[in-house]
Amino acid sequence: MITLTDVHKSYTKDHETIKGVSFEVKEGQIFGLLGPNGAGKTTLMQMISTLMKPTSGTIEIDGLTSDKDLLEIHRKIGFLTNEIKLDPLSTPNNLFNFFAALYDIPKDELEERKQESFARFGIEPFANKKIVELSTGMKQKISIAISLIHDPPVIIFDEPTNGLDILTSKQVTDYLLELKEKGHAIILSTHIFSVAEELCDEIAMLVDGKIVAQGTVDELKRIAKADTFEKAFFNIYVEHHVE
């Protein structure tokens, strides 16, 4: 579903942020990108979601590339980052309607989808309140509802549970597992070990723009000769990080 082949990204001539990353994510799989701050996770996520172009290499989403089928790719992906802040004076209702219009969702389908989505995340009581009046968790739920308004087969989540309380976090992770069961391909970037351990079928560890280890949680523990996933991460990081 998602295939990255030897992807490089440089912002300046003398520094490469992403250094030849390749991996594949299949349908019904949650793929985790784990790494410290500055490892290149967000850059990679932005390239997969077509917000940035790789300097070299290819990124395919369901066999499509952004050079030729950009808008078709956009119909297939849902991108969410915890950094997105919605317009403070809009209401969830208006935002949902606006994005539904951009995604060409027919009017007769719109109300049904809205009701379903709002009910799932408990948005209904706040549907006509201004975003500025809502809590961080509620805003994140609205962001998720809007990102997945078109029911995309590929979901890209950049640090989805950052800054959320335990309850909201749990709701989000449960939802991700449910989407996985439905066959969605999900890429998740995080630096929270428990989230990665609980959700991801496969994890790539990104250090200084390179994937230094890749596999299931157990495989990574075995590679790093560690008894916990956290220790495995640190061992691999120390081994590959260049000061």
Partner 1 sequence: MDKILTVFKWELHKLFSSWKKAVALFLLPAILLMASLNVFPLLINYMSTGSFNQKPVLIVDAPKSFYDYVENTVDARVYEYKYISAREFESMVNAREQFVRDLRKGLIICIFTTDSSRPGFDDEIRNYYTEISSGNAEAISTAAIHISYDVNSVTAESRAQQFHEGVLKGYQSGLIDELGGDYSIVGSSLFDVDTFNPVTDFEEYRTVANAAAARVVPGVLMIMMYYCVYSLVSDMFASERDRGFMAKLLITPVSRKKIYAGKILAIVSIVSASAYITMLLLFFSSWINRSNNAMSLLPFGMMLTPSELLTVLIAIPITALLMTAICISITFDLKRMQEITINLQLPLIYFLADFFLQMFRGTRPITLEYFIPMHNTLQLISETFMAQNKVWHVLLVYALNFAVAVCVLRYTFKKEESI
DSSP for 151-174, please give it.
Answer: --SEEEEESTTTT--HHHHHHHHH
Coil, helix or strand at residue 12:
strand
Q: How far is the CB of 130 from partner 1 (least distance, A)?
A: 8
Choice between 102 and 177, CB closer to partner 1:
102
**Which of 12-20, 81-89, 182-190, 201-209 is the region at the interface with partner 1 (rule: CB under 8 A)?**
81-89
**Which of 23-31, 92-100, 174-182, 193-201 is the region at the interface with partner 1 (rule: CB under 8 A)?**
92-100
Contact characters 101-140, partner 1, x per CB under 8 A: xxxx-------------------------x----------
Say how many residues make up the chain: 243
Q: How far is the CB of 112 from partner 1 (least distance, A)?
A: 20
Contact status: 15 vs partner 1 (CB under 8 A): no
* Count of chain residues binding partner 1 (CB under 8 A): 31
Q: How far is the CB of 106 from partner 1 (least distance, A)?
A: 14
Q: How far is the CB of 74 from partner 1 (least distance, A)?
A: 4
Residues 6+ apart with CB under 8 A from 230: 193
Site for partner 1 in 138-157 (CB under 8 A): 146-147
CA 134 to chain centre: 23
Q: Kindly state the tokens that stand for 49.
A: 């979601």
Q: How far is the CB of 217 from partner 1 (least distance, A)?
A: 30
**Which of 26-34, 87-95, 112-120, 227-235 is the region at the interface with partner 1 (rule: CB under 8 A)?**
87-95
Contact status: 52 vs partner 1 (CB under 8 A): yes
Q: Kindly state the tokens that stand for 188.
A: 């998740």
Site for partner 1 in 195-234 (CB under 8 A): none
Burial (0-12, 13-18, 19+ Cβ within 10 Å), 201: middle
Q: How far is the CB of 82 from partner 1 (least distance, A)?
A: 9
Pairing relationship of beta strands 154-158 and 77-81 according to DSSP bridges: parallel
Report the alpha-carbon distance of residue 91 to residue 182 in Å, rounded.
Answer: 29
Report the alpha-carbon distance of residue 226 to residue 240 in Å, rounded.
Answer: 16
